[in-house]
Structure 1
Amino acid sequence: MKTQPSTSSRRRVLKQLALAGTGLAIAPTALVSLRPRTDSLKIAINNGKVFSQGSIRPLHLGITQDNRLRLSTELLNAPTVIDASGKIVSPGFVDILADNASNPKNTYRIFEKYKISDGCTTVLQMHGGDEYPAAFHQYFDRQPHYVNYGIGVFVMRLKYIYSNPKDVYRYVEKGLEEGALGVCHSIEYQPTPFEELLEYAKLVQKYDRPLFLHLRHSSKEKELEGVSEAIALAQQTGARVHIDHLHSTGGTYNMPAALEMIDNANNMGMEITTCVYPYSYWATYIASKRFDAGWQQRFGLTYEDLTVVGTGAKITAQNFDFYRKQMGVLVAVPEGTVPFDKTVNLALQTDFCMIGSDGGIESEPRANNHPRGAGCFATALRHAQNIGMSLDKMLTKMTSLPAKLMRPSLNERAVIKDKAIADITIFDPKTIQGKATVTNPNQFSEGIECVIVNGHIAYRDKKILLSKGVPIRY
């Protein structure tokens, strides 16, 4: 991104700015009365409403030559000046629950493309990750990345490989030693004895990392048992435990009770967090245990309620068994299956709930992936405004709260303060909106004006410009 040369005529520059309309303007420094140029700055972001330290206020930002932030109450000068008038300037969004585990070597560029276009600067795969973190980083750290990236230890895969739990424990600890950000397990899909879960909790506590759990039960009758189990793990080991997507597993039918249980546990000194994605429907693989016999009764759904994501094809009694035999086919339930007012909106009122996509786009032109993989964060910002939630409260759930969970790996990110790493997302609060749908998940979000990754303008005006992401690991 370049500005016009300083010798450009004022008239010609004004004409160019007028043609730019209401979009995010890259303003020549000659146009504005600024304080003397600070040579240590390479980018200045002026006139925006900046989300910093928990509140939104008028500020100007500078990015130094070493890609750190500098805050100012005065207009700043730099070779590149971004006029963010009418826009929100936020720390780059952090997706803790991204998912690109199925075939990352062939799909990660597509996956990251739809993350940066949704305003994410740091994308962590903590629902799955990889069974061998060192090998993962040995390969991917040599590749270009649009966003910062990191993984947890993928317990499910280790259990498929090693039948002896002691071998699994050994490789989980090895993964933590190799820099994995935590341990991830989905016990609804791969039922695991509590005693074994206890060992994973002890390991993360030893290495001061979080344990991410997709809970054991999703039925109305048993879902709170899964919440109790997560609390017991935290209580017995002192580990910090994160419950994945509580509104779809654990609090779908009994959200007030689930939230009260978590809140009580935290008040007793435990550290339990959770996340939601701002959609009133879930999607998962039709071959998974969630669709074992009795699923219609458990969820109050019929065959025709299931839609193949990316194609719009409907499941029927006649083709259900056919699709069940196809590995990797994702189906979505209808909108409203998870009512906002009884689930997501309640969870968002708590200070321990954050945003996590539980998704990723892995193919083109139309992926068989939930739209949340492309539009989660823009949709969350639109949803906040729709329900009367302040943007500063929602932005906390997309930046500083996930950074606190992942501490200390993100200690210098996901915050706007002097000397923090310059991961920045600039968005228009009037137009922000996820555009991805069940029929066509492969759509960039609206309103994401500019994304800066590690001090470099990496995405602007729906175009990816640079690959400046770095690994996040211990």
Structure 2
Amino acid sequence: MKQHLRALCLGASLSLLALSTSAPAQPAEPYDVVIAGGRVIDPESGLDGIRQIGIRDGRIAVVTTEPLRGRTTIDAKGLVVGPGFVDVHSHAQTIPAAWIQAFDGVTTALELEGGTWPVASTYDAIAKEGRPINYGFSVNWLAARTDMGLPRTAPASDEDVVRVVARVEQGLNEGGLGVGMLAGYAPDTGRQEYLDVARLAAKRDVPTFTHVRTKNTREPKGAVEGFSEVIAVAAATGAHMHICHINSSALRAIPSIAAMIETARANGVSISSEAYPWGAGSTKIDAPFLHPDNLPQINIKSSSIVYLKTGERPATNARLAELQKSDPEGQVVIHYLDETIPAERRFIDDAVMVKDSMIASDAVPYEIDGKIFDKPQWPLPAKAVSHPRTASTFTATIAYYVREKRMFSLNEMFRRASLLPARLMESVAPGMRDKGRIRPGADADIIVFDPETVAGQASYEDTTKPARGMANVLVGGQFVIRDGKLITTARPGRPIRGATR
């Protein structure tokens, strides 16, 4: 018995010794990369302090106050070090667009609102080409149904709804990251079909991503109706329903819509939202809500629309209709709200500041003369055009909301732009549990930037100007941007794919 007590005492003493002395963080071999002396922010733990980070085999191996040796060392003194931003709404799935998003701090860009169809072949094609940042896709519900020959202008039959749901499930089986629901581009499709797809999502424990069916400021078929459908279906099915770009879907109804979302969440409805800090949206010119008869319903004129191919602002509804007929796929920028007018800026602020809302860019690919520009050419050609949100969403948010207006902290920025997006995807892609965090074992998707100078530089007049202040961007422990310079040969991006397949 005495011997047993002595053993217990000895064990307790050793345990206390281990707790009171920190084991050396530096192993015999140097780390692949060391980020030294930066202000490290981890939104999950709340860490905000000076630390050293050791990276090995694409993952964070250690976060410590002790000095570390690395084969490559970044002096991050005076800089912020945090998890790369996870953009849950990026249509910009090309190499040049990924480069420009990397300067905006994005290390993972997911196409979830629209998604893709078919799923497997899209992943295969991008894997062959390679990407500088991580990528992934939801199942494009609308493309799956139009591939069957179903019109957007009428509900499907009961038999066809069954077939649509089966096709969506096929996409999930191929690794789709949930279901992209472009209801706003097919507003006359059936409500039962939307409900049945959500029931499938609930069964498979995957999120849905909705562009709401109606966004009009005026009733009927207003924004309240469109958002109410999403909230009601989430409550009825238990599916997690993510609402895309509430700023350009709720418009001047944002205060009312924001209250709806926050109240629904407080009552246990599984919904989430996102916003970007721009007053203009972007889409194809033939979007239903841009038809001339509908423009008064969203408080814009034909001249509020910029036809990117030529820069023209249609002077009349007749000219707009002509462009819609001759080039229905043409990209446009729609000026819904003017960021320079304080009363209209407040609508954008209300959307961004919705409790637990995420930051997402809704980035769109660059094009030249109406054709997508996807060549790996840097810098981007002067003729390339897009929406400035592609290049300047996350850095613009830091500059305006964190540094200038002090509406939230850097830790909150990382929570909204890195951690919450990663958590949103964990049910369908468990690997996302290792993104959006700075901790041992997490993926080394890391950004290093100057908090005093980081800012978006793109504008409606110059959409290709990269954001400034992003000193280093690592994806899986590999540099995509080093000392402020793009490494054009780097292709460390990996697919984010649903584990339910």
TM-score (norm 1): 0.86
Secondary structure at the counterpart of residue 247 of structure 1: helix
Q: Does 1:330 align with 2:347?
A: no
Distance 1:153 1:392 in 2: 32
Picking from 114, 124, 129, the partner of 2:100 is: 114
Question: Structure 1's 274 and 66: CA in aligned 2 closer, same or farther, altered over 3 A?
Answer: closer
Q: How many Å apart are 1:40 and its aligned residue?
A: 4.9
Q: How many Å apart are 1:307 and its aligned residue?
A: 2.1
Asked if structure 2 preserves the Cα contact closer than 8 Å seen for 1:367 and 1:440, the reply is no
Q: How many Å apart are 1:247 and its aligned residue?
A: 1.1
Picking from 445, 454, 459, the partner of 1:437 is: 459
> Aligned residues, how many?
434
Aligned partner of 2:153 in structure 1 is none
Distance 2:41 2:26 in 1: 26
Aligned partner of 2:398 in structure 1 is 381
Q: How many Å apart are 1:70 and its aligned residue?
A: 1.4
Asked if structure 2 preserves the Cα contact closer than 8 Å seen for 1:330 and 1:368, the reply is no
Query: 53-62 vs 362-371, which deviates more?
Result: 362-371
Q: How many Å apart are 1:81 and its aligned residue?
A: 0.9
Distance 2:57 2:494 in 1: 17
Picking from 353, 356, 359, the partner of 1:352 is: 356
Distance 1:329 1:456 in 2: 37
RMSD: 2.1
Query: 147-156 vs 317-326, which deviates more?
Result: 317-326
Aligned partner of 1:398 in structure 2 is 417
Aligned partner of 2:181 in structure 1 is 185
Question: Structure 1's 196 and 443: CA in aligned 2 closer, same or farther, altered over 3 A?
Answer: same
Picking from 24, 37, 44, the partner of 1:47 is: 37
Aligned partner of 2:299 in structure 1 is 300
One-letter identity of the residue aligned with 1:428: D
Asked if structure 2 preserves the Cα contact closer than 8 Å seen for 1:309 and 1:439, the reply is no
Q: How many Å apart are 1:441 and its aligned residue?
A: 1.5
Aligned partner of 1:238 in structure 2 is 238
1:272-291 equivalence runs, <5 A: 272-291=271-290
Q: Does 1:470 align with 2:486?
A: no
Distance 1:246 1:301 in 2: 17
Distance 1:354 1:262 in 2: 13
Asked if structure 2 preserves the Cα contact closer than 8 Å seen for 1:220 and 1:253, the reply is yes
Aligned partner of 2:269 in structure 1 is 270
One-letter identity of the residue aligned with 2:236: Q
Distance 1:97 1:206 in 2: 24
Distance 2:457 2:467 in 1: 5
Picking from 201, 210, 221, the partner of 2:207 is: 210
Aligned partner of 2:369 in structure 1 is none
Q: How many Å apart are 1:95 and its aligned residue?
A: 0.5
Q: How many Å apart are 1:289 and its aligned residue?
A: 0.7
Asked if structure 1 preserves the Cα contact closer than 8 Å seen for 2:235 and 2:270, the reply is no
Q: Does 1:458 align with 2:476?
A: no
Picking from 134, 139, 142, the partner of 2:125 is: 139
One-letter identity of the residue aligned with 1:308: Y
Aligned partner of 1:78 in structure 2 is 70
One-letter identity of the residue aligned with 1:112: A
Q: How many Å apart are 1:368 and its aligned residue?
A: 4.2
Asked if structure 1 preserves the Cα contact closer than 8 Å seen for 2:33 and 2:73, the reply is yes
Distance 1:208 1:119 in 2: 29
Q: How many Å apart are 1:288 and its aligned residue?
A: 1.2
Asked if structure 1 preserves the Cα contact closer than 8 Å seen for 2:304 and 2:335, the reply is yes
Distance 2:461 2:419 in 1: 33
Q: How many Å apart are 1:335 and its aligned residue?
A: 7.4
One-letter identity of the residue aligned with 2:438: I
Cα shift readout 1:376-409 (whole Å, capped 9, x = no counterpart):
1111111212221212112211100101111142
Q: Percent identity?
A: 29
Query: 383-392 vs 270-279, which deviates more?
Result: 383-392
**Greater Cα radius of gyration, structure 1 or 2:** 2
Distance 1:206 1:416 in 2: 32
Secondary structure at the counterpart of residue 125 of structure 1: strand
Cα shift readout 1:193-242 (whole Å, capped 9, x = no counterpart):
21111111111111111110000111113101111111111111100000
Secondary structure at the counterpart of residue 126 of structure 1: strand
Asked if structure 2 preserves the Cα contact closer than 8 Å seen for 1:60 and 1:72, the reply is yes
Distance 1:395 1:246 in 2: 20
Cα shift readout 1:231-278 (whole Å, capped 9, x = no counterpart):
1111111000000001111x2122222122122221222211000011
Asked if structure 2 preserves the Cα contact closer than 8 Å seen for 1:97 and 1:357, the reply is yes
Q: Does 1:407 align with 2:397?
A: no
| Greater helix content | 2
Secondary structure at the counterpart of residue 248 of structure 2: coil
Q: How many Å apart are 1:38 and its aligned residue?
A: 5.0
Aligned partner of 1:3 in structure 2 is none
One-letter identity of the residue aligned with 1:268: N
Asked if structure 2 preserves the Cα contact closer than 8 Å seen for 1:87 and 1:427, the reply is yes
Distance 1:237 1:359 in 2: 30
Distance 2:244 2:123 in 1: 24
